[in-house]
Amino acid sequence: MTTVYTITFVLLAVAGLLTLARALAGPTNLDRIVALDVLVILIVAGVTVEIGMRNEGWNIALVAVVALLGFLGSLTAARLVERRGTTR
């Protein structure tokens, strides 16, 4: 299982770097918002894999709260961009 966890962390890290590059180079604000939302999801996935690796379940509620806050943050930012009418 150590190999599976290592491969998972490497794939999550590569996805995180690609997402971070998209957030920095995104031509519009909506692209950046989506990239940051995906980055939050990747962080939550990494922490969840860490929980599974250590076989500890005491911080699952914390992971759920971070995922919910990430979703609400991206939703709020998207509504703000929609109301302003500008995407750049």
For the cut 80, the answer to whether the pLDDT of residue 88 exceeds it is no
- Report angle CA 73, 74, 76 to the nearest 5 degrees: 65
Quote the CA–CA distance of 72 and 42 in Å, as a whole number.
16
Query: Does the pLDDT at position 86 exceed 80?
Result: no
Q: What's the number of domains the chain is made of?
A: 1
Percentage of the chain lying above the pLDDT 70 cut: 97
Domain limits at 65? Answer: 2-84
